Amino acid sequence: MALNNGHPGEQAAQEPIKLIGIREKPLSLDEVFRAVGDEAAGGTALFVGTVRNHDGGAGVAELGYSCHPSAEAEMRRIAEKVVADFPVRALAAVHRVGDLKVGDFAVVVAVSCPHRGEAFEACRKLIDDLKHEVPIWKHQRFSDGTEEWVGA
């Protein structure tokens, strides 16, 4: 964490969690980026997870995401941990559910902090923990007609 030197801009914001959501509609980079805008932030890190056209050597035709009803609450719990560990000025995270095609955005997270290093670290912690801890499952359908569940 950065030295705060008594300057309020070097500290976490009072209410830094600006946007948490599970969405059935396409995700908006602009919405997430706007949510983390903060004049005291010197760095903003944004991560976009997209549906790729392959996995494990097999071609992916499409996939579907589903989630447990607690998924959004779990996202908020993880966001609160990130906010506790970093001087976050603003944080946003949205994940898509439903059927997605190759190239669609599956998840978008962003964090703004007083400095770039903190923003990168906080954003990485946020996406890594979301991926490992939130009950969201991926059903991949491959171009050869096979399918698999990931995270179930």
Residue 118 main-chain phi, psi, to 5 deg: -65, -40
pLDDT at 5: 52
Residues 16, 107: Cα–Cα separation, whole Å: 19
Decide if pLDDT at 147 tops 50: yes
Digit-coded pLDDT (tens) for 66-112:
999 999 999 999 999 999 999 999 999 999 999 999 999 999 999 99
Contacts 24+ apart (CB under 8 A), 33-38: 33/110, 35/90, 35/92, 35/110, 36/89, 36/90, 36/91, 36/92, 36/110, 36/111, 36/112, 37/90, 37/112, 38/13, 38/89, 38/90, 38/112
